[in-house]
Chain A
Amino acid sequence: MSERTLLHELDYSVVQQCMHCGLCLPTCPTYVQTGRERSSPRGRIALMRAVADDRLEVNEAFVEEMSYCVGCLACQTACPAGVDYNSLLETARAAGEQSDVPRGKLRGVYRWLALKQLFPRPWLLRLVARVLAVYQRPAIRGTVIRLGLLRLAPRHLRELEPKSPPFDPPFSFARLKPVEPPVSGKPRARVGLLIGCIQDVAFAGINAATATVLRHNGCEVVTPRGQGCCGSLHAHNGEPNTARKLAEVNLNTFDLDNLDAIISNAGGCGSHLRRYGEMFPPGTPLHEKAEAWDAKVYDVHQWLDKIGFEPPRGSIGPTRVAYDASCHLRHGQGVDAPPKRLLAATPGVELVPLTESDWCCGSAGLYSMLQPESANWLLERKLDHLETAAPDVLVSGNPGCLLQLAQGMAERESLRNVRTAHPVELLAEAYAAAT
């Protein structure tokens, strides 16, 4: 039990901050699912603490429990003591990756494909996306399946297939010039736009809409070429070194001194993007830059809310809209009211209440691939609430959530016609309706 792990090196007061009061329990999806303390936030922290105290080793059960955690961070919102669960979980998962605990084969393949191959290489991700975009045209997809061509693909690629996102070329660089001026008048602010990786290939339209809405609110929008994946999936899944390398790329690509803000429109990315400082401790060359970066990163809703949002004059027509909060926007970044305020101010939108809108939909980064059973449980729970809410449009501020929800709703008769969208898309449509 004496083997040193990353948990031994952690600042002990972070673990100790948990006073095990249990207020996190009812907000935790895996605790609600199992009713077991080991699958609760305070239980997991107790296990981490036991490792740090040499009362437990990093064993299979420990690694599985950390993997089973959704990472939705609902516990952080519920926590009275301000425990930084996100950091604890990232450290515990990294300790798991560094241990010699064997992991499931399938899990290994997903991790390798997603974390090591696709996300660190935007060009490769885009290339794969183009090929899959063709494949996803129903006629071609049907032919491929009928001819059994998919069988030629490596086994792990076939298993990935049902979860692979739809693709939406042309991608963001083709849609957005490096600098786009405000729609009218002098710029009030100059902002950098993060296009993301999944967002860029699956939802390039959201990036375009984000730029449109910012431009209608007096912002000059800069979309630097050469930017890449934010590294959040790596940090969340125990790959801190890759995460740091990806952060370096972004830190060196954006001209921080000449930007008032850096805008993220993906909740999961934003939550990580605002914590670059933690990866570059004082004394390292990029420390100051990373701290300055953290201070300038805003979620698009929060930024619009802060600068004084100019509501669109056009209307999207009477539309029942349900807002499902991205966990890392709501719990990771603590952004709750701004998206609802923007939507409420958009002509035509009738916001309908959605029970447990601050609960995870089961997407959770790679979670739906790594823990499909639990992810499905969450999705079904979400779909049940959506049936009650009966919206025309379901909006959410994160690409992973939109994919998961679209896929889930397509499989339910009653929800098949519900459209999924990012809030900025509805805003952009309303601005367009006025002109």
Chain B
Amino acid sequence: MSAALHEELRGIVGADQVLTDREDLLVYSFDGTAATSQTPGCVVMPGDTEQVSRCVKAAAAAGVPIVARGSGTGLSGGSVPAADGLVIGLTRLDKIMHVDPANLCMQVECGVITQRVDQVAAEHGLFYPPDPGSQKTCTIGGNVAENSGGLRGLKYGVTRDYVLGMRVVLADGRVLWLGNACVKDVAGYSLRDLFIGSEGTLGIVTEVLLRLLPRPEHRKTMVASFDSMRAAAQAVSDIIARRIVPCTLEFLDQTTIRCVEDFASVGLPTDAAAMLLVECDGRHSAVEEEAAEVIATLKEAGAGNVEAAQDEVAADRLRTARRAAFAALARVRPTTILEDVTVPRSRLAEMVELVRQVADAKNLRVGVFGHMGDGNLHPTFLTDERDEDEMRRVHEALEEIVDHAISLGGSITGEHGVGLAKKPFLRRQVGDESFRVMHQVKAALDPSGLLNPGKLLDDANGSADAAHPGGVS
């Protein structure tokens, strides 16, 4: 990247917001994705939409690739820089612009931390449901770009279901406002929806108008253990068959249960094959009624022991096992690879079983936990990136798992995004024609291919490069 472009960027955002030192470039060379990194040529931290637009124009004029970045917590390599490219860091755009309780919405800048959105909503008795695992760190702009999920998908959906409008900077620097505070709006193509989940390849979202809900007044937490994953999955189906939609329906497999117990000693049944965490929320009386039915259903489905929290302290204790799952697995080996394939809910037990078989066949350690309510599972491989042979087996296992998820009518990624990690598989899932249309959309909005190049789609010339271009981070 040329010194002239650095100088131009300094003129736009101020000298102190342009980072070019080696120490800075190194620490912006990765996001939350394992074993993936690439050193940028410059990191710029604009303070508002206009500066973002001017930075994009400057980079575009110089033909320099641009990667937008929030807090860099992504798990598919979506905000890993382009080699010698420009990183536009958006954490300074962190203003809550307004809360509108009458219309149940809130307008924020893209760098606002996700948890803060819900905290501010709570001050008005309102609720922002999507709660990705990194909610204390990640930005709302990143959530929109990745269409992030969380633990409440079954009942409340994902980020897409809460985006009413957005301001977006296009590849040529033009700024668009898309959407409005109306629940009903059928005027023209919903361009807004095109940008949600586009992973920074079509434009840079700088403001979001978010839909909010009334905050549920009560929540009830329960756990149950089972001697097979199938029995746990059946229990979930039985609950839904009774026309109850819990807000949380999470599971842990035996490996995860044992790792959690080793790590946190919370008294989990280490001989159980599966554990379920179920939470209902809503009006007090309705929740208590639902919870009673859930408990009865769990018992009828053969749950070993069922426990319901009587107060918030106890509820918190019951949530510990699920909350600690990832942490407990992550400390077993130096490298942790967190996957997120998704299948229709009715096929989940089958999928978990397959993951286990593949891991055994390849002599790998894997813990599986995830969102049973929405079929999104997190096979978590415990490995060591310095062991080349083991890493090769991990990648082979991942490919088998992804293929199987597709064959069950599922998705290669439920909530982490395609980025670099899942890029080789996208075409297999969506099919050749859809894949071609995606390329056409990309070409229409970013003809020079400067926005987050090499992510999501293979390069325009169709060369399928490797998932991990940058070597080890």
B391 CB, min distance to chain A CBs, angstroms:
13
Q: CB distance B335 to A22 under 8 Å?
A: no
Q: CB distance A20 to B31 under 8 Å?
A: yes
Q: CB distance A22 to B330 under 8 Å?
A: no
B470 CB, min distance to chain A CBs, angstroms:
13
A-contacting residues, B15-42, CB 8 Å: 19, 21-24, 26-32, 34
Contact of A17 among B22, B71, B134, B331 (CB under 8 A): B331
Set of chain A residues within 8 Å of B138, measured between Cβ atoms: 22
Known: A22-B137, A23-B137, A81-B336. A50 touches B327 (CB 8 A): no
Chain B, 294-333, contact with A by CB distance < 8 Å: what is the 0/1 string? 0000000000000000000000000000000011001100
**Is A276 located at the chain interface by the 8 A CB criterion?**
no
Q: CB distance A21 to B23 under 8 Å?
A: no
Q: CB distance B385 to A22 under 8 Å?
A: no
Set of chain B residues within 8 Å of A35, measured between Cβ atoms: 45, 91-92
Q: CB distance B27 to A43 under 8 Å?
A: yes
Compute how far the CA of A26 lies from the CA of B119 in the bound complex, rounded to whole angstroms. Answer: 15
Q: CB distance B32 to A61 under 8 Å?
A: no
Set of chain B residues within 8 Å of A372, measured between Cβ atoms: none
**Is A124 located at the chain interface by the 8 A CB criterion?**
no
**Is A142 located at the chain interface by the 8 A CB criterion?**
no
Contact of A20 among B24, B386, B473 (CB under 8 A): B473
Chain B, 113-145, contact with A by CB distance < 8 Å: what is the 0/1 string? 100000000000000000000101110000000
How many CB-defined contacts (below 8 Å) exist between A and B? 84
Q: CB distance A16 to B23 under 8 Å?
A: no
> From B36, which residue of chain A is reached at the shortest CB distance?
A20
**Is B188 located at the chain interface by the 8 A CB criterion?**
no
Q: CB distance A21 to B32 under 8 Å?
A: yes
> From B331, which residue of chain A is reached at the shortest CB distance?
A82
Total contacting residues, chain A, CB less than 8 A: 30
**Is A38 located at the chain interface by the 8 A CB criterion?**
yes
**Is B72 located at the chain interface by the 8 A CB criterion?**
yes
Set of chain A residues within 8 Å of B336, measured between Cβ atoms: 19, 81
**Is A349 located at the chain interface by the 8 A CB criterion?**
no
B370 CB, min distance to chain A CBs, angstroms:
16
Set of chain B residues within 8 Å of A46, measured between Cβ atoms: 26-27, 29-30, 473
Set of chain A residues within 8 Å of B21, measured between Cβ atoms: 61
Q: CB distance A82 to B23 under 8 Å?
A: no
Q: Which of B27, B137, B330, B385 has the most CB of A within 10 A?
A: B27
Return 20 A-B CB contacts under 8 Å, by A number: A13-B384, A19-B34, A19-B336, A20-B30, A20-B473, A22-B31, A22-B138, A25-B71, A26-B113, A37-B72, A38-B24, A38-B27, A46-B27, A46-B473, A47-B27, A55-B26, A62-B23, A80-B327, A80-B330, A81-B336
Chain A, 41-67, contact with B by CB distance < 8 Å: what is the 0/1 string? 011001100100001100001100100
**Is A4 located at the chain interface by the 8 A CB criterion?**
no
Q: CB distance B24 to A36 under 8 Å?
A: yes
**Is B462 located at the chain interface by the 8 A CB criterion?**
no
A85 CB, min distance to chain B CBs, angstroms:
13
Compute how far the CA of A21 lies from the CA of B72 in the bound complex, rounded to whole angstroms. Answer: 8
Q: CB distance B327 to A20 under 8 Å?
A: no
A-contacting residues, B370-405, CB 8 Å: 384-386
B426 CB, min distance to chain A CBs, angstroms:
24
Known: A16-B334, A81-B331. A47 touches B91 (CB 8 A): no
Q: CB distance A56 to B26 under 8 Å?
A: yes
Q: CB distance A81 to B385 under 8 Å?
A: no
> From B111, which residue of chain A is reached at the shortest CB distance?
A35
B: contact size bracket: 35 or more
A103 CB, min distance to chain B CBs, angstroms:
17
Other CB < 8 Å A-B pairs besides A26-B113, A61-B23, 17 of them?
A16-B334, A19-B335, A20-B30, A20-B31, A21-B73, A22-B134, A22-B137, A22-B138, A23-B73, A23-B134, A23-B137, A26-B136, A35-B91, A46-B26, A50-B26, A55-B26, A80-B327
Contact of A56 among B23, B34, B331, B334 (CB under 8 A): B23
B471 CB, min distance to chain A CBs, angstroms:
11
Compute how far the CA of A19 lies from the CA of B381 in the bound complex, rounded to whole angstroms. Answer: 13
Known: A20-B32, A61-B21, A82-B327. A37 touches B134 (CB 8 A): no
Known: A21-B134, A38-B27, A61-B21. A16 touches B72 (CB 8 A): no
Compute how far the CA of A20 lies from the CA of B472 in the bound complex, rounded to whole angstroms. Answer: 13
A331 CB, min distance to chain B CBs, angstroms:
15
Set of chain B residues within 8 Å of A17, measured between Cβ atoms: 331, 334
B-contacting residues, A202-244, CB 8 Å: none
B-contacting residues, A47-97, CB 8 Å: 47, 50, 55-56, 61-62, 65, 79-82
Known: A19-B335, A20-B30, A22-B32. A81 touches B327 (CB 8 A): yes
> From B263, which residue of chain A is reached at the shortest CB distance?
A82
- Shortest 10 CB-CB contacts between residues of A and residues of B: A80-B327, A43-B27, A82-B331, A37-B27, A81-B330, A22-B73, A16-B334, A21-B32, A13-B334, A61-B23
Q: CB distance A65 to B473 under 8 Å?
A: no
A36 CB, min distance to chain B CBs, angstroms:
7
B88 CB, min distance to chain A CBs, angstroms:
14
> From A20, which residue of chain B is reached at the shortest CB distance?
B30
B336 CB, min distance to chain A CBs, angstroms:
6
Known: A19-B336, A22-B134. A80 touches B32 (CB 8 A): no
Compute how far the CA of A79 lies from the CA of B113 in the bound complex, rounded to whole angstroms. Answer: 18
A47 CB, min distance to chain B CBs, angstroms:
6
Chain A, 174-218, contact with B by CB distance < 8 Å: what is the 0/1 string? 000000000000000000000000000000000000000000000
Compute how far the CA of A56 lies from the CA of B39 in the bound complex, rounded to whole angstroms. Answer: 13
Known: A19-B32, A22-B71. A65 touches B137 (CB 8 A): no
Set of chain A residues within 8 Å of B32, measured between Cβ atoms: 19-22
B361 CB, min distance to chain A CBs, angstroms:
26
A-contacting residues, B384-431, CB 8 Å: 384-386
Compute how far the CA of A40 lies from the CA of B73 in the bound complex, rounded to whole angstroms. Answer: 13
Q: Which of A13, A40, A50, A81 has the most CB of B within 10 A?
A: A81
